[in-house]
Structure 1
Amino acid sequence: MTLSRADNGDDPAIDAFLGFLATDIKQHPEKIKALAPDLAKRITVLTDGISVNLDDEIDGDVAL
């Protein structure tokens, strides 16, 4: 199996998920929490120097 980026921006699964998130946020805004500063700092440290190009092709097989 080969996994690749879709050519168009329409993805029904992503659209449905984003719709679900939007509805949940509207119905339960109290559930939205800020990222803890310690966690944000750890993420920054762990990803420092890592660059990602979302347009790069995925090499090899991908198991889903």
Structure 2
Amino acid sequence: MKTRITVGGVPWEELTEDHQQRVKDFVTGHVRRIVSEEVNSMIEKGKSMEEIKRFLKIN
């Protein structure tokens, strides 16, 4: 399967390196927030450190 990534309809390859970096930073920030919220929720629910490590794929 082939995946095409576009930003505002513009193919990824056609974006400037600066624009690509801004998009990466934007997405990384959202992922960081989502993962942090999930880990905090797991802590509040009393999940063990092992369960949290498994979620984060940390051995």
TM-score, structure 2 as length reference? 0.39
TM-score, structure 1 as length reference? 0.36
Which is strand-richer, 1 or 2? Answer: 2
Highest RCO, 1 vs 2 (Cα 8 Å, sep ≥ 6): 1
Which is helix-richer, 1 or 2? Answer: 2
